[in-house]
Amino acid sequence: MILERPKSLADVSTHFCPGCSHGIVHRLVSEVMDELQIEGRTVGICPVGCAVTSYNYFTCDMIEAAHGRAPAVATGVKRANPDKVVFTYQGDGDLAAIGTAETVHSATRGENITVIFINNTIYGMTGGQMAPTTLPGQVTQTTPYGRDPRYAGFPVRICEMVSTLSGCAYAERVAVDSPAHVKAAKKAIMKGFRNQLDGMGFSIIEILSTCPTNWGMTPSQAIERVRNEMIPYYPLGVYKDMTDKGGVFGDK
Amino acid sequence: MILERPKSLADVSTHFCPGCSHGIVHRLVSEVMDELQIEGRTVGICPVGCAVTSYNYFTCDMIEAAHGRAPAVATGVKRANPDKVVFTYQGDGDLAAIGTAETVHSATRGENITVIFINNTIYGMTGGQMAPTTLPGQVTQTTPYGRDPRYAGFPVRICEMVSTLSGCAYAERVAVDSPAHVKAAKKAIMKGFRNQLDGMGFSIIEILSTCPTNWGMTPSQAIERVRNEMIPYYPLGVYKDMTDKGGVFGDK
Amino acid sequence: MAEERVLMKGNEALAEAAIRAGCRCYFGYPITPQTEIAAYMSKRMPKIEGGVFLQAESEIAAINMVYGAAASGVRAMTSSSSPGVSLKSEGISYIAGCDLPCVIVNVQRGGPGLGGIQPSQSDYYMATKAGGHGDFHLLVFAPASVQDMADFAVWAFESADKYRMPAMILSDGLLGQMMEPVVFPEISSAQPEKPWAAVGHNNARPHNIINSLYLQPDELEASNIQRFERYEVVKREMASAQTYLTEDAEIIVTGYGATSRIIRSAVNAARKEGIKAGMLRPVTLWPFPEQAYKDTLSTAKVYLDVEMSMGQMVNDVKLAIECKRPVHFFGHTGGIIPTPAEVLAQIKALDEKIRKGDI
Amino acid sequence: MAEERVLMKGNEALAEAAIRAGCRCYFGYPITPQTEIAAYMSKRMPKIEGGVFLQAESEIAAINMVYGAAASGVRAMTSSSSPGVSLKSEGISYIAGCDLPCVIVNVQRGGPGLGGIQPSQSDYYMATKAGGHGDFHLLVFAPASVQDMADFAVWAFESADKYRMPAMILSDGLLGQMMEPVVFPEISSAQPEKPWAAVGHNNARPHNIINSLYLQPDELEASNIQRFERYEVVKREMASAQTYLTEDAEIIVTGYGATSRIIRSAVNAARKEGIKAGMLRPVTLWPFPEQAYKDTLSTAKVYLDVEMSMGQMVNDVKLAIECKRPVHFFGHTGGIIPTPAEVLAQIKALDEKIRKGDI
Amino acid sequence: MTSEIQLAGFGGQGILFAGKVLAYCGMLDGREVSWLPSYGPEMRGGTCNCSVTLSDEPIGSPTVYNPDILIVMNEPSFVKYINEVKPGGCAFVNTTLVDSVSDRKDIDIYNIPATAMAEENGLTGGANIVMIGMLIKKTGIISMDGIESTIRKMVPPKKAQLIENNMKAIRMGYDFE
Amino acid sequence: MTSEIQLAGFGGQGILFAGKVLAYCGMLDGREVSWLPSYGPEMRGGTCNCSVTLSDEPIGSPTVYNPDILIVMNEPSFVKYINEVKPGGCAFVNTTLVDSVSDRKDIDIYNIPATAMAEENGLTGGANIVMIGMLIKKTGIISMDGIESTIRKMVPPKKAQLIENNMKAIRMGYDFE
Amino acid sequence: MAKMTVDHSRCKGCGLCVDVCPKKIIVILKDVRTAKGYNPAECSDQSKCIGCGFCFEMCPDCAIRVEK
Amino acid sequence: MAKMTVDHSRCKGCGLCVDVCPKKIIVILKDVRTAKGYNPAECSDQSKCIGCGFCFEMCPDCAIRVEK
Ligand SMILES: Cc1ncc(C[n+]2csc(CCOP(=O)(O)OP(=O)(O)O)c2C)c(N)n1
Ligand SMILES: Cc1ncc(C[n+]2csc(CCOP(=O)(O)OP(=O)(O)O)c2C)c(N)n1
Ligand code: SF4
Ligand code: SF4
Ligand code: SF4
Ligand code: SF4
Ligand code: SF4
Ligand code: SF4
Ligand SMILES: [Mg+2]
Ligand SMILES: [Mg+2]
Q: Tens digits of per-residue pLDDT, C198-232?
A: 999 999 999 999 999 999 999 999 999 999 999 99
CB atoms under 10 Å from CB of C162, counted, come to 17
Ligand nearest to the CA of G12: 6
CB contact under 8 A, D30 and A145: no
Q: Which residues contact F177 (CB under 8 A, 6 or more apart)?
A: none
Minimum mean pLDDT range among C186-195, D329-338, F115-124:
C186-195
- Give pLDDT tens digits for A141-158: 999 999 999 999 999 999
Residues in chain E: 177
Interface contact B248, partner A, CB < 8 A: yes
Torsion angle, CA of H21/A174/D57/B208, rounded to 10 degrees? Answer: -170
Task: Please state the domain count of chain B.
Answer: 1
User: DSSP E strands: which ranges in chain C?
Assistant: 6-9, 25-28, 52-55, 76-80, 102-108, 139-141, 166-172, 179-182, 209-210, 241-244, 251-254, 277-282, 284-286, 302-307, 327-331
- Is the CB of residue B248 less than 8 Å from the CB of residue B195? no
| Mean pLDDT, residues H61-66 | 98
Looking at chain D from residue 299 to 318, which residues have their Cβ under 8 Å from any Cβ of chain B?
none
Which domain covers residue B235, as residue numbers?
22-244
Distance, in Å, from the CA atom of D314 to the CA atom of D336, rounded to the nearest integer, reads 19
Please tell me the pTM assigned to this model.
0.98
Distance, in Å, from the CA atom of C280 to the CA atom of D172, rounded to the nearest integer, reads 40
| A48 Cα: distance to centroid of ligand 9 (angstroms) | 10
Distance, in Å, from the CA atom of E154 to the CA atom of E172, rounded to the nearest integer, reads 20
Cross-strand pairs, D166 = D102
Backbone angles phi, psi at A115, to 5 degrees: -115, 120
Q: Which residue among H9, H54, H67 places its CB closest to the CB of A2?
A: H67
Looking at chain G from residue 4 to 63, which residues have their Cβ under 8 Å from any Cβ of chain E?
12, 36-38
Pick the residue from chain E with its C-alpha nearest to B14: E43
Indicate whether A120 belongs to any domain: yes
CB atoms under 10 Å from CB of F165, counted, come to 20
| Mean pLDDT, residues C135-142 | 98
Position E149 pLDDT exceeds 50 = yes
DSSP chain A: -EE---TTB-SS---PPTT-HHHHHHHHHHHHHHHHT-GGGEEEEE-SSGGGGGGGTB-SEEEEPPTT-HHHHHHHHHHH-TTSEEEEEEEHHIIIIITHHHHHHHHHTT-S-EEEEEE-SSBTTTTSB--TTPPTT--BTTBTT---HHHH-PPP-HHHHHTTSTTEEEEEEEE-SSHHHHHHHHHHHHHHHHHHHTT--EEEEEEE---HHHHT--HHHHHHHIIIIIHHHS--EEEEE-GGGTTTTT--
Torsion E123-E128-E132-E134 (CA) sign: positive
The CATH code of the domain that includes B112 is: 3.40.50.970
Indicate whether B13 belongs to any domain: no
Distance, in Å, from the CA atom of D210 to the CA atom of B77, rounded to the nearest integer, reads 12
Averaged pLDDT of chain C: 97
Cross-strand pairs, B171 = B204, B240
CB contact under 8 A, B104 and A104: yes
Pick the residue from chain A with its C-alpha nearest to D57: A97
Global ipTM: 0.98
Distance, in Å, from the CA atom of F77 to the CA atom of F10, rounded to the nearest integer, reads 8
In chain F the domains, ranked by start, together with CATH numbers, are: 2-175 (3.40.920.10)
Indicate whether B189 belongs to any domain: yes
Query: What pLDDT, on the 0 to 100 scale, is given for residue D1?
Result: 44
> Of D172 and E11, which is predicted with more confidence?
D172
Give percent of chain F above pLDDT 70. 98
Interface contact A160, partner B, CB < 8 A: yes
CB contact under 8 A, E62 and C178: yes
Distance, in Å, from the CA atom of C94 to the CA atom of C132, rounded to the nearest integer, reads 9
Query: What pLDDT, on the 0 to 100 scale, is given for residue B126?
Result: 96
DSSP state at residue C119: B
Give percent of chain G above pLDDT 70. 100
- Tally DSSP H helices, then E strands, for chain F: 6, 6
- Give pLDDT tens digits for C274-307: 999 999 999 999 999 999 999 999 999 999 999 9
Distance, in Å, from the CA atom of E143 to the CA atom of E165, rounded to the nearest integer, reads 18
| Mean pLDDT, residues A211-234 | 98
Enumerate the domain spans of chain C.
6-238, 242-356
SS3 C296: helix
Residues with pLDDT less than 50, chain D: 1
Cross-strand pairs, H28 = H41
Position H9 pLDDT exceeds 50 = yes
The β-bridge relationship of strands G3-6 and G64-67 is antiparallel
Cross-strand pairs, D167 = D103, D139
DSSP A180-196: HHHHHHHHHHHHHHHHH
Task: Please report the atom of ligand 4 found closest to the CA of residue B213.
Answer: 7
Indicate whether B166 belongs to any domain: yes
Sort out which chain F residues have CB atoms less than 8 A from A15's CB and list them.
41, 43, 45
Burial class (CB in 10 A: 0-12, 13-18, 19+), D170: buried
Q: Is any ligand 8 atom within 6 A of the Cβ of residue H59? A: yes
Query: What pLDDT, on the 0 to 100 scale, is given for residue E45?
Result: 67
DSSP state at residue G47: G
- Assign a CATH topology to domain D6-238: Rossmann fold (3.40.50)
- Give pLDDT tens digits for G26-56: 999 998 988 888 899 999 999 999 999 999 9
Q: Which residues contact C91 (CB under 8 A, 6 or more apart)?
A: A66, A69, C60, C63, C64, C66, C67, C132
Burial class (CB in 10 A: 0-12, 13-18, 19+), F161: exposed
Q: Which residues contact F145 (CB under 8 A, 6 or more apart)?
A: none
Sort out which chain C residues have CB atoms less than 8 A from B143's CB and list them.
42
- Is the CB of residue C143 less than 8 Å from the CB of residue D154? no
CATH architecture entry for D242-356: 3-Layer(aba) Sandwich (3.40)
Looking at chain C from residue 28 to 57, which residues have their Cβ under 8 Å from any Cβ of chain B?
29-32, 35, 38-39, 42-43, 46, 53-55, 57
Mutate: best of C209, C214, C215, partner A, most A CBs <10 A = C209
DSSP state at residue B143: B
C190 pLDDT tier (thresholds 50, 70, 90): confident
Query: What pLDDT, on the 0 to 100 scale, is given for residue E173?
Result: 96
Pick the residue from chain B with its C-alpha nearest to C37: B142
Cross-strand pairs, H4 = H66
Bond from prior residue into D112 cis (ω within 30 degrees of 0): yes
Q: Is any ligand 8 atom within 6 A of the Cβ of residue H66? A: no
Residue F38's nearest CA partner among D145, G24, C217 is C217
Burial class (CB in 10 A: 0-12, 13-18, 19+), E102: middle
Looking at chain C from residue 95 to 134, which residues have their Cβ under 8 Å from any Cβ of chain B?
113-114
- Is the CB of residue C114 less than 8 Å from the CB of residue C334? no
Torsion angle, CA of C133/C138/C141/C146, rounded to 10 degrees? Answer: -70
Query: What pLDDT, on the 0 to 100 scale, is given for residue C46?
Result: 97
Interface of B with G (CB under 8 A): 1-5, 9, 13-14, 16-24, 26-27, 176, 178-179, 182-183, 212, 218-220, 223
Query: What pLDDT, on the 0 to 100 scale, is given for residue C1?
Result: 44
Q: Which residues contact D275 (CB under 8 A, 6 or more apart)?
A: D250, D251, D347, D348, D351
Indicate whether A87 belongs to any domain: yes
Q: At what angle do helices D59-71 and D89-97 cross, to 10 degrees?
A: 10
Distance, in Å, from the CA atom of B212 to the CA atom of C318, rounded to the nearest integer, reads 53
| Mean pLDDT, residues C150-168 | 98
Q: Which residues contact B143 (CB under 8 A, 6 or more apart)?
A: B130, B134, B152, C42
Q: Give residue A153's identity as a one-letter amino acid code.
A: G
Residues in chain G: 68
Pick the residue from chain A with its C-alpha nearest to H3: A2
DSSP state at residue D313: T
Distance, in Å, from the CA atom of A160 to the CA atom of A166, rounded to the nearest integer, reads 13
In chain H the domains, ranked by start, together with CATH numbers, are: 3-67 (3.30.70.20)
Task: Please report the atom of ligand 8 found closest to the CA of residue H12.
Answer: 3
CB atoms under 10 Å from CB of C130, counted, come to 28
Give F120 to chain H, closest Cα distance, Å.
15
Interface contact H65, partner A, CB < 8 A: yes
Residues with pLDDT less than 70, chain B: 251-252
Indicate whether B16 belongs to any domain: no
Sort out which chain A residues have CB atoms less than 8 A from C211's CB and list them.
55, 62-64
Residue E6's nearest CA partner among E87, E89, E75 is E89
- Is the CB of residue F73 less than 8 Å from the CB of residue F114? yes
Query: What pLDDT, on the 0 to 100 scale, is given for residue H33?
Result: 83
Distance, in Å, from the CA atom of A148 to the CA atom of A97, rounded to the nearest integer, reads 17
Sort out which chain B residues have CB atoms less than 8 A from D64's CB and list them.
65-66, 69, 72-73, 76, 102
Sort out which chain F residues have CB atoms less than 8 A from A17's CB and list them.
42-45
Q: Give residue E136's identity as a one-letter amino acid code.
A: I
